[in-house]
């Protein structure tokens, strides 16, 4: 579950630990590249995703691309099921009011200097 737990933030310095997000993007890009190599070229996948080869290359290297492009690529490579299952599970069991308040409070604490 995505949240604003203490391990993701340095509250003293009001900073988000982005290393974990960058590592996840890199690993997801690596998985996409490995799966894509079995079935298509970057150009082929770009065509199927209505995107460019450069965008597919950026995605495979863990760089920023649109979420729409990411999910189309995951769908085309038949990698979307775990994400769909995660979203469905979260929607079936949403966080309690207490958990939502704790997340909101943590978020506002981080954002306070910018508000």
Residues 6+ apart with CB under 8 A from 93: none
Query: Is the overall model pTM greater than 0.85, yes or no?
Result: no
What structural domains and CATH numbers belong to the chain? 15-79 (1.10.260.40), 80-115 (no CATH)
Per-residue confidence (pLDDT) for residue 12, from 0 to 100: 56
Residue pair 49/56 in contact (Cβ under 8 Å)? The answer is yes
Per-residue confidence (pLDDT) for residue 4, from 0 to 100: 45
Is residue 104 classed as helix, strand or coil in its secondary structure? helix
Per-residue confidence (pLDDT) for residue 1, from 0 to 100: 38
Burial of 58-88, coded b for 16+ CB within 10 Å and e otherwise, reads bbbebeebeeebbebbbebbebeeeeeeeee
Per-residue confidence (pLDDT) for residue 8, from 0 to 100: 53
Compute the C-alpha angle 82/87/92, nearest 5°: 125
pLDDT mean for each 10 residues of the chain (115 residues): 49 62 92 96 97 98 95 96 93 91 87 79
For residue 61, CA distances in Å to 65, 72, 84, 95, 109 come to 11, 17, 23, 33, 33
Q: What is the Cα–Cα distance from 110 to 84, expressed in whole angstroms?
A: 30
Per-residue confidence (pLDDT) for residue 111, from 0 to 100: 82
């Amino acid at each position: 579950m995505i949240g604003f737990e203490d391990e993701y933030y340095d509250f003293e310095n009001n900073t988000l630990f982005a290393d974990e997000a960058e590592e996840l993007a890199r690993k997801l890009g690596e998985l996409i590249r490995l799966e894509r190599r079995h079935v298509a070229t970057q150009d082929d996948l770009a065509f199927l995703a209505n995107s460019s080869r450069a965008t597919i290359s950026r995605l495979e290297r863990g760089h920023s691309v649109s979420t729409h492009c990411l999910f189309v690529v995951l769908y085309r490579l038949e990698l979307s099921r775990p994400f769909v299952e995660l979203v469905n599970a979260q929607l079936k069991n949403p966080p309690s009011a207490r958990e939502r308040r704790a997340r909101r409070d943590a978020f506002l604490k981080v954002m306070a200097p910018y508000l």
